[in-house]
Amino acid sequence: MKELQTVLKKRFAIEFADKNLLETAFTHTSYANEHRLLKISHNERLEFLGDAVLQLLISEYLYKKYPKKPEGDLSKLRAMIVREESLAGFARDCQFDQFIKLGKGEEKSGGRNRDTILGDAFEAFLGALLLDKDVVRVKEFIYQVMIPKVEAGDFEMITDYKTHLQELLQVNGDVDIRYQVTSEMGPAHDKVFDVEVLVEGKSIGKGQGRSKKLAEQEAAKNAVEKGLNSCI
Amino acid sequence: MKELQTVLKKRFAIEFADKNLLETAFTHTSYANEHRLLKISHNERLEFLGDAVLQLLISEYLYKKYPKKPEGDLSKLRAMIVREESLAGFARDCQFDQFIKLGKGEEKSGGRNRDTILGDAFEAFLGALLLDKDVVRVKEFIYQVMIPKVEAGDFEMITDYKTHLQELLQVNGDVDIRYQVTSEMGPAHDKVFDVEVLVEGKSIGKGQGRSKKLAEQEAAKNAVEKGLNSCI
Protein backbone atom coordinates (compact mmCIF):
# COMPACT_ATOMS: atom_id res chain seq x y z
CA MET A 1 0.00 0.00 0.00
CA LYS A 2 2.86 2.39 0.74
CA GLU A 3 4.20 1.82 -2.74
CA LEU A 4 0.79 2.43 -4.31
CA GLN A 5 0.51 5.69 -2.38
CA THR A 6 3.91 6.73 -3.70
CA VAL A 7 2.92 5.96 -7.29
CA LEU A 8 -0.33 7.91 -6.93
CA LYS A 9 1.45 10.89 -5.43
CA LYS A 10 4.30 10.94 -7.90
CA ARG A 11 2.41 10.29 -11.09
CA PHE A 12 -0.97 11.87 -10.40
CA ALA A 13 -0.46 14.12 -7.36
CA ILE A 14 -3.17 12.17 -5.54
CA GLU A 15 -3.05 11.68 -1.77
CA PHE A 16 -5.89 9.81 -0.11
CA ALA A 17 -7.15 11.15 3.20
CA ASP A 18 -8.86 7.84 3.88
CA LYS A 19 -6.28 5.10 3.27
CA ASN A 20 -8.81 2.37 4.03
CA LEU A 21 -10.92 3.50 1.13
CA LEU A 22 -7.92 3.22 -1.17
CA GLU A 23 -7.14 -0.23 0.20
CA THR A 24 -10.71 -1.38 -0.34
CA ALA A 25 -10.58 -0.22 -3.97
CA PHE A 26 -7.65 -2.56 -4.56
CA THR A 27 -9.08 -5.55 -2.70
CA HIS A 28 -10.61 -8.21 -4.94
CA THR A 29 -13.46 -10.34 -3.60
CA SER A 30 -11.20 -13.42 -3.72
CA TYR A 31 -8.89 -11.82 -1.14
CA ALA A 32 -11.75 -10.75 1.12
CA ASN A 33 -13.25 -14.26 0.91
CA GLU A 34 -9.97 -15.88 1.90
CA HIS A 35 -9.75 -13.62 4.94
CA ARG A 36 -13.38 -13.79 5.87
CA LEU A 37 -12.72 -13.71 9.61
CA LEU A 38 -10.94 -10.38 9.33
CA LYS A 39 -14.06 -8.87 7.73
CA ILE A 40 -12.11 -7.10 5.03
CA SER A 41 -14.15 -5.06 2.55
CA HIS A 42 -13.75 -5.80 -1.16
CA ASN A 43 -14.09 -3.42 -4.06
CA GLU A 44 -17.47 -4.32 -5.58
CA ARG A 45 -19.44 -1.49 -4.03
CA LEU A 46 -16.80 1.05 -5.01
CA GLU A 47 -16.82 -0.36 -8.53
CA PHE A 48 -20.58 0.32 -8.68
CA LEU A 49 -19.90 3.96 -7.83
CA GLY A 50 -16.81 4.29 -10.01
CA ASP A 51 -18.62 2.91 -13.03
CA ALA A 52 -21.27 5.62 -12.65
CA VAL A 53 -18.86 8.52 -12.27
CA LEU A 54 -16.85 7.26 -15.23
CA GLN A 55 -19.97 7.03 -17.40
CA LEU A 56 -20.93 10.59 -16.52
CA LEU A 57 -17.51 12.10 -17.17
CA ILE A 58 -17.05 10.32 -20.48
CA SER A 59 -20.61 11.24 -21.51
CA GLU A 60 -19.95 14.90 -20.73
CA TYR A 61 -16.66 14.81 -22.61
CA LEU A 62 -18.25 13.23 -25.68
CA TYR A 63 -21.27 15.54 -25.58
CA LYS A 64 -19.02 18.60 -25.73
CA LYS A 65 -16.43 17.13 -28.07
CA TYR A 66 -18.97 16.10 -30.71
CA PRO A 67 -21.71 18.75 -30.83
CA LYS A 68 -23.20 17.25 -34.00
CA LYS A 69 -23.16 13.53 -33.28
CA PRO A 70 -26.55 11.95 -32.52
CA GLU A 71 -27.14 10.23 -29.22
CA GLY A 72 -26.69 6.75 -30.73
CA ASP A 73 -23.14 7.52 -31.88
CA LEU A 74 -22.25 9.00 -28.51
CA SER A 75 -23.52 5.85 -26.78
CA LYS A 76 -21.43 3.62 -29.03
CA LEU A 77 -18.30 5.68 -28.49
CA ARG A 78 -18.85 5.69 -24.76
CA ALA A 79 -19.32 1.93 -24.72
CA MET A 80 -15.99 1.48 -26.52
CA ILE A 81 -14.14 3.72 -24.09
CA VAL A 82 -15.55 2.27 -20.87
CA ARG A 83 -15.55 -1.40 -21.83
CA GLU A 84 -13.62 -3.87 -19.74
CA GLU A 85 -10.67 -4.31 -22.10
CA SER A 86 -10.09 -0.58 -22.33
CA LEU A 87 -10.30 -0.07 -18.59
CA ALA A 88 -7.93 -2.96 -17.99
CA GLY A 89 -5.47 -1.23 -20.31
CA PHE A 90 -5.74 2.00 -18.32
CA ALA A 91 -5.25 0.05 -15.09
CA ARG A 92 -2.02 -1.39 -16.52
CA ASP A 93 -0.89 2.06 -17.69
CA CYS A 94 -1.30 3.25 -14.10
CA GLN A 95 0.58 0.20 -12.73
CA PHE A 96 -2.55 -0.73 -10.79
CA ASP A 97 -2.09 -4.39 -11.67
CA GLN A 98 0.85 -4.55 -9.24
CA PHE A 99 -1.21 -3.46 -6.27
CA ILE A 100 -4.40 -5.50 -6.43
CA LYS A 101 -4.91 -7.84 -3.47
CA LEU A 102 -5.96 -11.23 -4.77
CA GLY A 103 -6.83 -14.55 -3.18
CA LYS A 104 -4.25 -17.29 -3.65
CA GLY A 105 -6.30 -19.28 -6.14
CA GLU A 106 -7.02 -16.21 -8.24
CA GLU A 107 -3.32 -15.25 -8.17
CA LYS A 108 -2.26 -18.71 -9.31
CA SER A 109 -4.67 -18.78 -12.20
CA GLY A 110 -3.37 -15.48 -13.52
CA GLY A 111 -6.06 -13.15 -12.12
CA ARG A 112 -3.58 -10.30 -11.88
CA ASN A 113 -3.58 -10.03 -15.64
CA ARG A 114 -7.31 -10.65 -16.16
CA ASP A 115 -9.20 -7.80 -17.81
CA THR A 116 -12.28 -8.16 -15.58
CA ILE A 117 -10.28 -7.85 -12.39
CA LEU A 118 -8.18 -4.97 -13.69
CA GLY A 119 -11.13 -3.09 -15.16
CA ASP A 120 -13.13 -3.50 -11.95
CA ALA A 121 -10.22 -2.26 -9.84
CA PHE A 122 -9.85 0.76 -12.11
CA GLU A 123 -13.52 1.63 -11.63
CA ALA A 124 -13.30 0.99 -7.89
CA PHE A 125 -10.35 3.39 -7.72
CA LEU A 126 -12.47 6.07 -9.42
CA GLY A 127 -15.25 5.43 -6.91
CA ALA A 128 -12.82 5.75 -4.00
CA LEU A 129 -11.38 8.96 -5.46
CA LEU A 130 -14.90 10.38 -5.79
CA LEU A 131 -15.63 9.67 -2.12
CA ASP A 132 -12.25 10.82 -0.83
CA LYS A 133 -12.15 13.94 -3.01
CA ASP A 134 -14.89 14.99 -5.43
CA VAL A 135 -16.10 14.70 -9.00
CA VAL A 136 -13.70 17.44 -10.13
CA ARG A 137 -10.69 15.44 -8.96
CA VAL A 138 -11.98 12.31 -10.71
CA LYS A 139 -12.37 14.38 -13.86
CA GLU A 140 -8.77 15.60 -13.59
CA PHE A 141 -7.56 12.03 -13.22
CA ILE A 142 -9.58 10.91 -16.24
CA TYR A 143 -8.15 13.79 -18.23
CA GLN A 144 -4.65 12.76 -17.16
CA VAL A 145 -5.01 9.08 -17.91
CA MET A 146 -7.83 8.37 -20.36
CA ILE A 147 -8.63 11.40 -22.50
CA PRO A 148 -5.20 11.68 -24.16
CA LYS A 149 -5.69 8.15 -25.54
CA VAL A 150 -9.24 8.89 -26.58
CA GLU A 151 -8.03 12.02 -28.38
CA ALA A 152 -5.32 9.98 -30.08
CA GLY A 153 -8.12 7.96 -31.63
CA ASP A 154 -7.26 4.72 -29.83
CA PHE A 155 -10.92 3.89 -29.39
CA GLU A 156 -12.32 4.66 -32.77
CA MET A 157 -10.02 2.03 -34.17
CA ILE A 158 -10.71 -0.86 -31.88
CA THR A 159 -14.04 -1.91 -33.25
CA ASP A 160 -13.79 -0.11 -36.54
CA TYR A 161 -11.35 -2.09 -38.64
CA LYS A 162 -13.69 -4.99 -39.25
CA THR A 163 -16.49 -2.64 -40.27
CA HIS A 164 -14.08 -0.56 -42.31
CA LEU A 165 -12.79 -3.60 -44.17
CA GLN A 166 -16.32 -4.76 -44.86
CA GLU A 167 -17.28 -1.36 -46.23
CA LEU A 168 -14.26 -1.27 -48.49
CA LEU A 169 -14.86 -4.76 -49.81
CA GLN A 170 -18.58 -4.52 -50.34
CA VAL A 171 -18.47 -1.49 -52.61
CA ASN A 172 -18.83 -3.90 -55.53
CA GLY A 173 -21.58 -6.03 -53.99
CA ASP A 174 -21.66 -8.78 -51.42
CA VAL A 175 -18.39 -10.49 -50.61
CA ASP A 176 -17.80 -13.47 -48.34
CA ILE A 177 -15.60 -12.34 -45.43
CA ARG A 178 -14.57 -14.82 -42.76
CA TYR A 179 -12.28 -14.78 -39.75
CA GLN A 180 -10.45 -17.98 -38.84
CA VAL A 181 -8.37 -18.79 -35.77
CA THR A 182 -5.13 -20.33 -37.01
CA SER A 183 -3.56 -20.91 -33.61
CA GLU A 184 -4.19 -20.55 -29.88
CA MET A 185 -1.17 -20.42 -27.60
CA GLY A 186 -0.48 -20.10 -23.91
CA PRO A 187 -2.29 -21.15 -20.72
CA ALA A 188 -6.03 -20.51 -20.27
CA HIS A 189 -5.61 -17.19 -18.45
CA ASP A 190 -3.01 -15.81 -20.83
CA LYS A 191 -3.90 -16.97 -24.34
CA VAL A 192 -2.70 -15.48 -27.56
CA PHE A 193 -4.81 -15.96 -30.68
CA ASP A 194 -3.68 -15.85 -34.30
CA VAL A 195 -6.41 -15.03 -36.76
CA GLU A 196 -6.58 -14.82 -40.54
CA VAL A 197 -9.20 -12.89 -42.48
CA LEU A 198 -10.38 -14.75 -45.60
CA VAL A 199 -12.14 -13.08 -48.50
CA GLU A 200 -13.82 -15.55 -50.82
CA GLY A 201 -11.62 -18.16 -49.16
CA LYS A 202 -8.36 -16.33 -49.78
CA SER A 203 -6.29 -14.97 -46.85
CA ILE A 204 -5.80 -11.22 -47.10
CA GLY A 205 -4.61 -10.35 -43.59
CA LYS A 206 -3.25 -11.76 -40.34
CA GLY A 207 -3.49 -10.58 -36.77
CA GLN A 208 -2.60 -11.55 -33.22
CA GLY A 209 -4.37 -10.64 -30.00
CA ARG A 210 -5.28 -11.61 -26.45
CA SER A 211 -8.81 -12.39 -27.47
CA LYS A 212 -10.34 -13.63 -30.71
CA LYS A 213 -12.01 -10.26 -31.18
CA LEU A 214 -8.80 -8.31 -30.83
CA ALA A 215 -6.96 -10.68 -33.14
CA GLU A 216 -9.74 -10.28 -35.73
CA GLN A 217 -9.44 -6.52 -35.51
CA GLU A 218 -5.70 -6.82 -36.02
CA ALA A 219 -6.21 -9.08 -39.02
CA ALA A 220 -8.70 -6.62 -40.53
CA LYS A 221 -6.32 -3.75 -39.87
CA ASN A 222 -3.50 -5.71 -41.50
CA ALA A 223 -5.65 -6.34 -44.56
CA VAL A 224 -6.65 -2.69 -44.86
CA GLU A 225 -3.06 -1.54 -44.45
CA LYS A 226 -1.65 -3.95 -47.01
CA GLY A 227 -4.01 -2.40 -49.48
CA LEU A 228 -6.94 -4.33 -50.65
CA ASN A 229 -6.50 -3.93 -54.35
CA SER A 230 -3.40 -6.02 -54.55
CA CYS A 231 -5.11 -8.91 -52.77
CA ILE A 232 -8.42 -9.46 -54.44
CA MET B 1 -41.43 28.63 -22.27
CA LYS B 2 -42.10 31.68 -20.11
CA GLU B 3 -44.49 29.63 -18.03
CA LEU B 4 -41.96 26.82 -17.64
CA GLN B 5 -39.38 29.33 -16.49
CA THR B 6 -41.82 30.63 -13.91
CA VAL B 7 -42.56 27.13 -12.61
CA LEU B 8 -38.85 26.33 -12.36
CA LYS B 9 -38.10 29.55 -10.54
CA LYS B 10 -41.03 29.34 -8.15
CA ARG B 11 -40.87 25.68 -7.27
CA PHE B 12 -37.17 24.93 -7.53
CA ALA B 13 -35.40 28.33 -7.56
CA ILE B 14 -33.85 27.40 -10.91
CA GLU B 15 -33.10 30.06 -13.52
CA PHE B 16 -31.44 28.98 -16.74
CA ALA B 17 -28.74 31.25 -18.14
CA ASP B 18 -29.05 29.53 -21.51
CA LYS B 19 -32.76 29.48 -22.38
CA ASN B 20 -32.09 27.61 -25.61
CA LEU B 21 -30.69 24.72 -23.65
CA LEU B 22 -33.86 24.57 -21.57
CA GLU B 23 -35.97 24.72 -24.70
CA THR B 24 -34.00 21.89 -26.29
CA ALA B 25 -34.54 19.73 -23.22
CA PHE B 26 -38.29 20.03 -23.70
CA THR B 27 -38.29 19.46 -27.47
CA HIS B 28 -39.26 15.94 -28.52
CA THR B 29 -37.84 14.54 -31.76
CA SER B 30 -41.35 14.53 -33.27
CA TYR B 31 -41.48 18.33 -32.97
CA ALA B 32 -38.00 18.81 -34.40
CA ASN B 33 -38.87 16.50 -37.29
CA GLU B 34 -42.02 18.44 -38.11
CA HIS B 35 -40.05 21.68 -38.24
CA ARG B 36 -37.04 20.27 -40.01
CA LEU B 37 -36.37 23.43 -42.02
CA LEU B 38 -35.99 25.48 -38.86
CA LYS B 39 -33.19 23.12 -37.70
CA ILE B 40 -34.53 22.89 -34.18
CA SER B 41 -32.53 20.71 -31.78
CA HIS B 42 -34.35 17.92 -29.97
CA ASN B 43 -33.62 16.48 -26.56
CA GLU B 44 -31.97 13.13 -27.31
CA ARG B 45 -28.39 14.26 -26.74
CA LEU B 46 -29.32 15.98 -23.49
CA GLU B 47 -31.13 12.84 -22.40
CA PHE B 48 -27.88 10.89 -22.93
CA LEU B 49 -26.12 13.28 -20.55
CA GLY B 50 -28.99 13.51 -18.07
CA ASP B 51 -29.25 9.75 -17.80
CA ALA B 52 -25.57 9.59 -16.84
CA VAL B 53 -25.72 12.32 -14.20
CA LEU B 54 -28.85 10.77 -12.73
CA GLN B 55 -27.20 7.33 -12.52
CA LEU B 56 -24.22 8.82 -10.71
CA LEU B 57 -26.22 10.82 -8.19
CA ILE B 58 -28.56 7.95 -7.37
CA SER B 59 -25.58 5.57 -7.12
CA GLU B 60 -23.83 7.89 -4.70
CA TYR B 61 -26.99 8.31 -2.66
CA LEU B 62 -27.57 4.54 -2.42
CA TYR B 63 -23.90 3.82 -1.68
CA LYS B 64 -23.99 6.13 1.34
CA LYS B 65 -27.51 5.28 2.44
CA TYR B 66 -26.90 1.53 2.53
CA PRO B 67 -23.34 0.92 3.74
CA LYS B 68 -23.94 -2.82 4.09
CA LYS B 69 -25.84 -3.68 0.92
CA PRO B 70 -23.87 -5.60 -1.70
CA GLU B 71 -23.39 -4.14 -5.17
CA GLY B 72 -26.12 -6.35 -6.66
CA ASP B 73 -28.79 -4.93 -4.36
CA LEU B 74 -27.65 -1.37 -5.03
CA SER B 75 -27.90 -2.01 -8.78
CA LYS B 76 -31.43 -3.36 -8.45
CA LEU B 77 -32.56 -0.44 -6.31
CA ARG B 78 -31.01 2.01 -8.73
CA ALA B 79 -32.73 0.35 -11.66
CA MET B 80 -36.09 0.70 -9.92
CA ILE B 81 -35.56 4.37 -9.18
CA VAL B 82 -34.33 5.42 -12.62
CA ARG B 83 -36.64 3.32 -14.76
CA GLU B 84 -38.91 4.99 -17.26
CA GLU B 85 -42.14 4.73 -15.27
CA SER B 86 -40.58 6.29 -12.20
CA LEU B 87 -39.01 9.13 -14.16
CA ALA B 88 -42.29 9.79 -15.95
CA GLY B 89 -43.92 10.12 -12.54
CA PHE B 90 -41.31 12.65 -11.43
CA ALA B 91 -41.83 14.57 -14.68
CA ARG B 92 -45.56 14.76 -13.92
CA ASP B 93 -44.85 15.84 -10.33
CA CYS B 94 -42.81 18.73 -11.75
CA GLN B 95 -45.57 19.62 -14.26
CA PHE B 96 -43.07 18.96 -17.05
CA ASP B 97 -45.75 17.18 -19.08
CA GLN B 98 -47.37 20.54 -19.79
CA PHE B 99 -44.28 22.00 -21.40
CA ILE B 100 -43.00 19.32 -23.77
CA LYS B 101 -43.03 20.34 -27.44
CA LEU B 102 -44.50 17.50 -29.45
CA GLY B 103 -45.22 16.93 -33.11
CA LYS B 104 -48.88 16.99 -34.08
CA GLY B 105 -49.15 13.24 -34.65
CA GLU B 106 -47.50 12.46 -31.34
CA GLU B 107 -49.80 14.93 -29.57
CA LYS B 108 -52.90 13.37 -31.12
CA SER B 109 -51.92 9.86 -30.13
CA GLY B 110 -51.46 10.87 -26.49
CA GLY B 111 -47.68 11.30 -26.44
CA ARG B 112 -47.93 13.94 -23.74
CA ASN B 113 -48.89 11.26 -21.26
CA ARG B 114 -46.53 8.56 -22.52
CA ASP B 115 -43.94 7.38 -20.00
CA THR B 116 -41.09 7.17 -22.54
CA ILE B 117 -41.52 10.76 -23.64
CA LEU B 118 -41.94 12.07 -20.11
CA GLY B 119 -39.03 10.05 -18.71
CA ASP B 120 -36.75 11.16 -21.55
CA ALA B 121 -37.69 14.81 -21.04
CA PHE B 122 -36.98 14.49 -17.34
CA GLU B 123 -33.51 13.13 -18.08
CA ALA B 124 -32.92 15.78 -20.75
CA PHE B 125 -33.81 18.45 -18.21
CA LEU B 126 -31.19 17.04 -15.82
CA GLY B 127 -28.64 17.11 -18.66
CA ALA B 128 -29.47 20.72 -19.45
CA LEU B 129 -29.24 21.66 -15.79
CA LEU B 130 -25.82 20.02 -15.57
CA LEU B 131 -24.56 22.04 -18.54
CA ASP B 132 -26.16 25.31 -17.46
CA LYS B 133 -25.14 24.96 -13.82
CA ASP B 134 -23.15 22.02 -12.39
CA VAL B 135 -23.45 18.61 -10.81
CA VAL B 136 -24.11 20.17 -7.38
CA ARG B 137 -27.21 21.94 -8.68
CA VAL B 138 -28.48 18.74 -10.30
CA LYS B 139 -27.95 17.00 -6.98
CA GLU B 140 -29.99 19.66 -5.18
CA PHE B 141 -32.80 19.24 -7.68
CA ILE B 142 -32.76 15.47 -7.28
CA TYR B 143 -32.85 15.89 -3.52
CA GLN B 144 -35.82 18.22 -3.88
CA VAL B 145 -37.80 16.06 -6.26
CA MET B 146 -36.75 12.42 -6.13
CA ILE B 147 -35.08 11.55 -2.85
CA PRO B 148 -38.08 12.33 -0.61
CA LYS B 149 -40.08 9.70 -2.53
CA VAL B 150 -37.21 7.25 -2.40
CA GLU B 151 -36.94 7.76 1.36
CA ALA B 152 -40.67 7.23 1.70
CA GLY B 153 -40.09 3.74 0.29
CA ASP B 154 -42.02 4.29 -2.94
CA PHE B 155 -39.50 2.29 -4.92
CA GLU B 156 -38.95 -0.73 -2.79
CA MET B 157 -42.58 -1.61 -3.29
CA ILE B 158 -43.03 -1.30 -6.98
CA THR B 159 -41.40 -4.48 -8.16
CA ASP B 160 -41.43 -6.31 -4.87
CA TYR B 161 -45.02 -7.31 -4.24
CA LYS B 162 -45.15 -9.98 -6.93
CA THR B 163 -41.92 -11.53 -5.68
CA HIS B 164 -43.04 -11.19 -2.09
CA LEU B 165 -46.35 -12.91 -2.78
CA GLN B 166 -44.56 -15.72 -4.60
CA GLU B 167 -42.16 -16.23 -1.71
CA LEU B 168 -44.99 -16.33 0.78
CA LEU B 169 -47.00 -18.80 -1.27
CA GLN B 170 -44.20 -21.13 -2.21
CA VAL B 171 -43.07 -21.87 1.32
CA ASN B 172 -45.03 -25.13 1.07
CA GLY B 173 -43.87 -26.08 -2.39
CA ASP B 174 -44.78 -24.98 -5.91
CA VAL B 175 -48.04 -23.14 -6.32
CA ASP B 176 -49.68 -22.01 -9.56
CA ILE B 177 -49.86 -18.19 -9.54
CA ARG B 178 -51.42 -16.35 -12.47
CA TYR B 179 -52.28 -12.76 -13.26
CA GLN B 180 -55.33 -12.10 -15.41
CA VAL B 181 -56.54 -8.84 -16.94
CA THR B 182 -60.24 -8.55 -16.13
CA SER B 183 -60.83 -5.24 -17.88
CA GLU B 184 -59.13 -2.58 -19.97
CA MET B 185 -60.67 0.87 -20.00
CA GLY B 186 -59.98 4.24 -21.61
CA PRO B 187 -58.35 5.39 -24.86
CA ALA B 188 -55.04 3.90 -26.07
CA HIS B 189 -52.85 6.57 -24.50
CA ASP B 190 -54.63 6.61 -21.16
CA LYS B 191 -55.64 3.03 -20.38
CA VAL B 192 -56.51 1.66 -17.01
CA PHE B 193 -56.12 -2.06 -16.38
CA ASP B 194 -57.88 -4.23 -13.85
CA VAL B 195 -56.01 -7.35 -12.89
CA GLU B 196 -56.78 -10.33 -10.66
CA VAL B 197 -54.21 -12.64 -9.16
CA LEU B 198 -55.27 -16.29 -9.19
CA VAL B 199 -53.74 -18.97 -7.00
CA GLU B 200 -54.60 -22.46 -8.13
CA GLY B 201 -57.38 -20.84 -10.14
CA LYS B 202 -58.88 -18.96 -7.19
CA SER B 203 -58.83 -15.15 -7.08
CA ILE B 204 -56.99 -13.85 -4.02
CA GLY B 205 -56.40 -10.20 -4.92
CA LYS B 206 -57.38 -7.41 -7.28
CA GLY B 207 -55.52 -4.36 -8.53
CA GLN B 208 -55.80 -1.43 -10.90
CA GLY B 209 -53.03 0.43 -12.74
CA ARG B 210 -51.95 2.39 -15.80
CA SER B 211 -50.07 -0.58 -17.14
CA LYS B 212 -50.56 -4.32 -16.78
CA LYS B 213 -47.40 -4.49 -14.69
CA LEU B 214 -48.54 -1.87 -12.24
CA ALA B 215 -51.99 -3.44 -11.98
CA GLU B 216 -50.36 -6.83 -11.28
CA GLN B 217 -48.27 -5.28 -8.52
CA GLU B 218 -51.38 -3.77 -7.02
CA ALA B 219 -53.17 -7.10 -7.18
CA ALA B 220 -50.24 -8.84 -5.48
CA LYS B 221 -50.14 -6.12 -2.83
CA ASN B 222 -53.87 -6.51 -2.28
CA ALA B 223 -53.47 -10.27 -1.83
CA VAL B 224 -50.61 -9.85 0.63
CA GLU B 225 -52.51 -7.25 2.61
CA LYS B 226 -55.70 -9.26 2.82
CA GLY B 227 -53.65 -11.95 4.45
CA LEU B 228 -52.89 -15.08 2.59
CA ASN B 229 -53.97 -17.61 5.12
CA SER B 230 -57.63 -16.81 4.89
CA CYS B 231 -57.55 -17.31 1.11
CA ILE B 232 -55.82 -20.58 0.48
Q: Do B70 and A44 touch (CB under 8 A)?
A: yes
Residue of A nearest to B42 (CA): A70
Whether the per-residue pLDDT at A227 is higher than 80: the answer is no
Whether the per-residue pLDDT at B189 is higher than 80: the answer is no
Q: CB-based contacts of B212: which residues, under 8 Å, 6+ apart? A: B179, B181, B193, B195
* Cα–Cα distance, A194 to A181 (Å, whole number): 6
Query: Taking a C-beta distance cutoff of 8 angstroms, is the pair A7, A91 a contact?
Result: no
Q: CB-based contacts of A154: which residues, under 8 Å, 6+ apart? A: none
Please work out, in degrees rounded to the nearest 5, the angle formed at the alpha carbon of residue B42 by the alpha carbons of B37 and B47: 165
> What confidence score (pLDDT) does residue B231 get?
44
Q: Do A52 and B60 touch (CB under 8 A)?
A: yes
* Cα–Cα distance, B67 to B88 (Å, whole number): 29
Read off φ and ψ for residue B67, nearest 5 degrees.
Answer: -65, -15
Q: CB-based contacts of B153: which residues, under 8 Å, 6+ apart? A: none
Q: Which of A49, A53, A71 sits opposite B44 (nearest CB)?
A: A71
Determine the average pLDDT of the residues in B198-226: 88
On chain A, the residues whose CB falls within 8 A of the CB of B52 are: 52, 55-56, 59-60
Average pLDDT, chain B: 91
Average pLDDT, chain A: 91
* Cα–Cα distance, B145 to B153 (Å, whole number): 14
Please work out, in degrees rounded to the nearest 5, the angle formed at the alpha carbon of residue B106 by the alpha carbons of B102 and B109: 140
Considering only residues A132 and A173, tell me which one the structure prediction assigns the higher pLDDT: A132
Determine the average pLDDT of the residues in B167-191: 85
Q: Do A56 and B56 touch (CB under 8 A)?
A: yes
Whether the per-residue pLDDT at A109 is higher than 80: the answer is yes
pLDDT tens figures, A141-197 = 999 999 998 887 777 644 568 887 887 787 777 889 999 999 999 887 778 999 999
Q: Do A56 and B60 touch (CB under 8 A)?
A: no
* Cα–Cα distance, B91 to A39 (Å, whole number): 43
pLDDT tens figures, B27-38 = 999 999 999 888
> What confidence score (pLDDT) does residue A228 get?
54
The region of weakest confidence among A113-117, B63-67, B171-175 is B171-175
Helix (H, G, I), strand (E, B) or coil at B182: strand
Our CA-based measurement puts residue B188 at a distance from the nearest CA of chain A, in whole angstroms, of: 29
Among chain A, residues having any CB pair with chain B shorter than 8 Å are 44-45, 47-49, 51-53, 55-56, 59-60, 63, 69-71, 74-75, 127, 130-131, 135
Considering only residues A48 and A35, tell me which one the structure prediction assigns the higher pLDDT: A48
Determine the average pLDDT of the residues in B86-91: 96
pLDDT tens figures, B6-65 = 999 999 999 999 999 999 999 999 999 999 888 899 999 999 999 999 999 999 999 999
> What confidence score (pLDDT) does residue B106 get?
96
**B47 belongs to an annotated ligand binding site:** yes
Whether the per-residue pLDDT at B188 is higher than 90: the answer is no
> What confidence score (pLDDT) does residue A225 get?
76
Query: Taking a C-beta distance cutoff of 8 angstroms, is the pair A41, A116 a contact?
Result: no
Residue of B nearest to A66 (CA): B45
Q: Do B71 and A44 touch (CB under 8 A)?
A: yes
Whether the per-residue pLDDT at A231 is higher than 70: the answer is no
Considering only residues B38 and A103, tell me which one the structure prediction assigns the higher pLDDT: A103
* Cα–Cα distance, A106 to A32 (Å, whole number): 12
> What confidence score (pLDDT) does residue B227 get?
67
**A123 belongs to an annotated ligand binding site:** yes
ipTM of the complex: 0.71
Amino acid in position B71 = E
> What confidence score (pLDDT) does residue A159 get?
56
Strand order in the sheet with A177-185: A177-185, A192-199, A202-209
Read off φ and ψ for residue B90, nearest 5 degrees.
Answer: -65, -40
On chain B, the residues whose CB falls within 8 A of the CB of A71 are: 44-45, 47-48
Indicate which of A18, A39, A45 best probes the interface with B, i.e. most B CBs within 10 Å of its own CB.
A45
* Cα–Cα distance, B3 to B9 (Å, whole number): 10
Determine the average pLDDT of the residues in B158-180: 80
Considering only residues B89 and A168, tell me which one the structure prediction assigns the higher pLDDT: B89
pLDDT tens figures, A20-38 = 999 999 999 999 999 988 8
Whether the per-residue pLDDT at B162 is higher than 90: the answer is no
**A120 belongs to an annotated ligand binding site:** yes
